[in-house]
Amino acid sequence: MLLVSALVVLIGHSLAQECQKRDYGNDGHVCVCNSTYCDTVPPPSRVEPPSYLIYTSNKAGLRFAKSEGRFIESNEISDKTIQIHPNEKYQEIFGWGGAFTDSTGVNLNSLDEPAQDNLLRAYFSNDGIEYSLCRVPIGGTDFSERGYSYDDGDEDPKLENFQLAPEDFKLKIPFIKKAQNLTWGNLRFFASVWTAPKWMKTNREYNGMWGFLRYEMYQSWADYFVKFFDKYSEQGIQFWGLVTGNEPSLAMVPFTKINSVAWTPAMLSTWVRDNLGPTIRNSSYSKIKIMMLDDQRLFLPWYPKLVLNDETTHMYVDGIAVHWYYDFLLSPRLLTETHDSFPDKFLLATEACHGDKPFQKHVDLGL
Ligand SMILES: *[C@@H]1O[C@H](CO)[C@@H](O)[C@H](O)[C@H]1NC(C)=O
Ligand SMILES: *[C@@H]1O[C@H](CO)[C@@H](O)[C@H](O)[C@H]1NC(C)=O
Ligand SMILES: *[C@@H]1O[C@H](CO)[C@@H](O)[C@H](O)[C@H]1NC(C)=O
């Protein structure tokens, strides 16, 4: 039997600027970026078969270091095997990215402008890691310095007092625009909301147990999304997707202080069917992808099954958004089961961060 095996030939270093390593005693290195220097990533390129490229990042300080190899015919049995099944296709990858939260903006604003630009280049440009799909919160989140919505006064079902917050103008929009520029517009956004205005909710608070949406506010809440897209559109920012609400489960866990709207599957199904779906599809944003859940694997596949049981709701929903926080307890098989139950709905990982557990309170640089 003739086998094809791989031979790695290190073709020297690419033209990228090197990582300026710094060791914080955490068993790895960070790369220091400042106002005049930042390491860069070589733009991806193609090579002709039988050559191939490998990009290596590791704790020792390699960051997307490029090397080239060549497949050769060989009879040797290797201990490493990669099997390729070209006819088995999975879901398209929509992109990679992060989130334009208030805390992102606070941290960027703590740097001088040339350092901000270097950092944004590292994330977005083709000298960097080319983020292509980013989350933008609608209003405040648990990564904000205060709780807020875009209509915080008295009860206002017609949303006459809807307006963006100072945070949008200081912490989000300027950086989103710079990122758009760095990607030449090849950056897609999806919007996710944490809480409704207090007056729309049954508990009249941003957070706390059982903070459902008041039934008589269902239409106002759908209109709120459209108002948000209008305001961002005025700033030159268009959205590819939306999520029905960040982590509805937060409002069912005692003692959480995170802003949220509680949705039982039945309530969510009704709201999407009667309010959000028709409102979005009849708006200037009719092509936007509507994602549901935005919560942990724990809810798969039973919660989407209950929501999408309604044929009309099923028609409006494009995808199912999933977070990563309890993945160490919950098998990825749940994703497969969800896919198999709804092969026409995509799955998208929409949030992951480190530091959510009580024992993870520090940023350990270089870990
Ligand atoms: C930025 O980092 C580079 C490379 O480590 C260094 O040569 C330069 O002095 C630093 N600049 C500032 C302003 O700290
Ligand atoms: C991006 O920024 C450059 C330099 O600041 C500017 O000349 C250019 O017009 C911007 N392009 C877009 C698409 O905003
Ligand atoms: C648009 O709105 C009308 C009237 O409210 C509704 O009957 C129709 O189903 C909506 N269209 C879509 C695509 O949801």
Q: Quick one: how far is CA 153 from the chain centroid?
A: 30
CA distance 41 to 122: 8
Spell out a b/e string for 19-34, using b for 16 or more CB atoms within 10 Å of the CB, else e: beeeeeeeebbbbebe
How far away, in angstroms, is 174 Cα from ligand 2 center? Answer: 13
Query: What confidence score (pLDDT) does residue 2 get?
Result: 43
Query: What confidence score (pLDDT) does residue 76 get?
Result: 82
Domain boundaries, the chain: 2-79, 102-351
Q: Which residues pair with 243 in a beta bridge?
A: 291
Q: Does residue 247 carry a catalytic annotation?
A: yes
Confidence grade of residue 253 (pLDDT, cut at 50, 70, 90): confident
When pLDDT is averaged across residues 319-337 and rounded to a whole number, the result is 95
CA distance 118 to 33: 7
Query: What confidence score (pLDDT) does residue 59 get?
Result: 79
Query: What confidence score (pLDDT) does residue 6 get?
Result: 52
Give yes or no for residue 343 having a pLDDT over 80. Answer: yes
Looking at the CA of residue 277, tell me the nearest atom of ligand 3: 14
When pLDDT is averaged across residues 292-303 and rounded to a whole number, the result is 97
Query: What confidence score (pLDDT) does residue 72 get?
Result: 85
Q: Is the CATH code 3.20.20.80 the one for domain 102-351?
A: yes
How far away, in angstroms, is 220 Cα from ligand 3 center? Answer: 16
How far away, in angstroms, is 270 Cα from ligand 3 center? Answer: 15
In the DSSP assignment, the letter for residue 19 is P
Q: How many other C-beta atoms are found inside a 10 Å radius of the C-beta of residue 361?
A: 7
Nearest CA to ligand 3 atom 13: 281
In Å, how far are 214, 220, 304, 307, 324 from 262, measured between CA atoms?
11, 16, 15, 14, 19
Ligand 1 pocket residues where CB is under 6 Å = 20, 32, 34-37
Query: What confidence score (pLDDT) does residue 344 get?
Result: 96
Ligand 3 pocket residues where CB is under 6 Å = 277-278, 281-282
The model's pTM? 0.91
Tell me if 64 sits within 8 A of 56, measured CB to CB.
yes
Query: What confidence score (pLDDT) does residue 351 get?
Result: 97
Looking at the CA of residue 20, tell me the nearest atom of ligand 1: 5
Q: Does residue 73 carry a catalytic annotation?
A: no
Under 8 Å CB-to-CB from 179, ≥6 apart: which residues? 100, 120, 123, 124, 131, 134, 187
Q: pLDDT tens digit string along 47-86?
A: 999 999 988 888 777 888 888 999 888 888 878 887 888 8
CA distance 260 to 202: 12
Query: What confidence score (pLDDT) does residue 356 get?
Result: 83
Report the chain's terminal Cα–Cα distance, integer Å. 44
Torsion of Cα atoms, 94 then 99 then 105 then 107, to 10°: -110
Catalytic residue among 73, 145, 216, 351: 351
CA distance 260 to 320: 18
Confidence grade of residue 10 (pLDDT, cut at 50, 70, 90): very low
